[in-house]
Structure 1
Amino acid sequence: MRQPTTVGDDDLAPDGAEAGDPAVIPEARGTGRRLRGAVAYHLGTAIVSGDHAPGDVLMSEADGSVALNVSRGVYREAIRTLVAKGLVASRPRTGTVVQPRHRWNLLDPDVLTWTFSGQPDMAVVRSLFELRVMVEPWAASMAAERRTRADIKAMRTALAAMARHGLDHVAGQAADCAFHDAILRATGNDYLAVLTTSIGTAVTMTTQFKQRSRALPRDPIPEHRRVLDAIVAGDGVAAAAAMHVLVDKALEDTRQAME
């Protein structure tokens, strides 16, 4: 089991802080929710990456707070965050134990973010895209039948922003997320709409992951435009087929990035 290291500015990066000297005392640079998020990120990424295996016992509140240079309250709240996401369980006399993977809330946006913070296992990536290919083509087909003018406007606005900013820019990535969100919402199915945050996070994180070591291998805008055109035309079969191609190509891009 890897021993935790001091939480420094790099661990606060998900909240937008600039990286700096890891020896800086966190309390001097952030408080409250920011620190709790940093500790949860630190421990969460260690768990999903396999540094802490199922069955491992994390440091106690007293030891963990000292090791990470945070207050006991901050460490306690971070552990509660991990418990809520299914990554760990707190047991009397045993301590905080890492749970088996099947107990994790894998679609939680934070868990997805932590998964792609390191080098995710290809089996995990494949499973995520298998879920997307089961959900999104069917959602595109339903959206083609049920979309409203407002839905179409939201998709067009998102696609225009993607083309304007590009997916190498945070604004373009946000627009990509909004495009997929708009399709799920256009289904009129509340249960599918619940997946918007999870699917959107998956789209954003895989896009960022693909660009770590090189530029995107291709322009994905044409695939998105074909999906939109089919939805606007009310052609559910074409919309589903276009979305299937979009997700398949995204998986291939991710696989190449991992290689």
Structure 2
Amino acid sequence: MSATDDHPLSRHATQPTRAIHDRIAHDLAIAIVGGRYQPGEMLPGEERYSAEQGVSRTAYREAVRVLSAKGLVYSRTKSGTRINERLRWNILDLDVLAWMFEAGPTPEFLRDIFELRTVVEPAAAQFAALRRDGQDISRMGHALEEMRRFGLQTPEGRAADQNFHSLILTATRNEALITLATSVTAVVAWTTRFARDERKESRDPMPDHDAVFDAILRGDPEEARLKMLMLIGNASRDAGMSGPSAG
């Protein structure tokens, strides 16, 4: 293998077009959310980028379309592609969430997503306590068993944790809340992973989850709300915040 063949950019030539533009979108997104490009700044033009990185202009254009669809950039005819203001970013998009955590979440970003959880999940637990049925209870109980069996250090345990939180949203029987389930559970997964992998947090979260489940099982909406608030507050501290509403 030659030195040229071993260069990471040369490998673009042998990858499918889909993989190439996804990789370009990923690299540009990390640069954007990580602050290398600031709102209002221009991305490199397609001709320059394709020449410097050894990729096709078509793949670059496709990558820019991906970023535009997620609100990170906007394009104007004859004036190039610029970085959008942060308030226009689709923060709850699954890819954008992943990019934010990969780039290194800021304290402000962590605060924002824990405040989102504080707004949504305690109310969801309250409604779930009123509206859950036997199947909901069975599925939540199974998710807790899987969390306990595998632990949150493993992908399987984190998947069970996501499922538990998703099942609570489903049990609200509220379509508007249920549409948030994918984003909220992704936030749960990323913050848990951040606390475990980056901060080396080892606190056992099972008592908090068990307490929420017990309140839902007993049909006690106020207790379910309070126990979910406690769960989120502890998770926030695990992630290095003083609390879900820390300023």
TM-score normalised by length of structure 2: 0.90
138 and 208 in structure 1: CA distance in 2 versus 1, 3 angstrom threshold: same
**How much is the aligned-residue C-alpha RMSD, in angstroms?**
1.8
1:238 to 199, 220, 223: 223
Q: Structure 2 counterpart of 1:42, which letter? A: D
Which residue number corresponds to residue 223 of structure 1? 208
In the TM superposition, what is the alpha-carbon distance from 1:217 to its structure 2 partner? 2.9
3-state DSSP of counterpart to 2:103: coil
In the TM superposition, what is the alpha-carbon distance from 1:38 to its structure 2 partner? 1.8
TM-score normalised by length of structure 1: 0.86
The whole-number CA distance in structure 2 between the counterparts of 1:22 and 1:167 is 37
Is the 1:89–1:97 contact (alpha carbons within 8 Å) kept by the matching residues of 2? yes
Q: Structure 2 counterpart of 1:197, which letter? A: T
Instruction: Trace 1:23-38 onto structure 2 (pairs within 5 A).
Output: 23=8, 25-27=10-12, 30-38=15-23
In the TM superposition, what is the alpha-carbon distance from 1:28 to its structure 2 partner? 5.7
Q: Structure 1 counterpart of 2:154, which letter? A: H
1:196 to 161, 181, 190: 181
Which residue number corresponds to residue 69 of structure 1? 54
Q: Do structure 1's residue 184 and structure 2's residue 169 form an aligned pair?
A: yes
Instruction: Trace 1:120-159 onto structure 2 (pairs within 5 A).
Output: 120-159=105-144
Q: Output one character per residue of 1:53-91: Cα deviation in whole Å (capped at 9) or x when no partner.
A: 001100112222233332222211111111011110011
**Worse overlay, 143-152 or 213-222:** 213-222
In the TM superposition, what is the alpha-carbon distance from 1:29 to its structure 2 partner? 5.9
Q: Output one character per residue of 1:129-187: Cα deviation in whole Å (capped at 9) or x when no partner.
A: 11110100000000011112221122112111111111111111111111111111110
In the TM superposition, what is the alpha-carbon distance from 1:104 to its structure 2 partner? 0.8
2:86 to 97, 101, 113: 101
22 and 143 in structure 1: CA distance in 2 versus 1, 3 angstrom threshold: farther
3-state DSSP of counterpart to 2:90: coil
Is the 2:13–2:55 contact (alpha carbons within 8 Å) kept by the matching residues of 1? no
Aligned length: 237
Which residue number corresponds to residue 68 of structure 2? 83
Is the 2:128–2:172 contact (alpha carbons within 8 Å) kept by the matching residues of 1? yes
The whole-number CA distance in structure 2 between the counterparts of 1:185 and 1:92 is 44
Which residue number corresponds to residue 51 of structure 1? 36
Q: Structure 1 vs Structure 2: percent identity of aligned residues?
A: 44
Unaligned runs of 5+ in 2: 1-5, 242-247
3-state DSSP of counterpart to 2:143: helix
96 and 211 in structure 1: CA distance in 2 versus 1, 3 angstrom threshold: same
In the TM superposition, what is the alpha-carbon distance from 1:45 to its structure 2 partner? 1.5
Q: Output one character per residue of 1:200-249: Cα deviation in whole Å (capped at 9) or x when no partner.
A: 11111111212334533301111111111111111111111110011111
69 and 203 in structure 1: CA distance in 2 versus 1, 3 angstrom threshold: farther
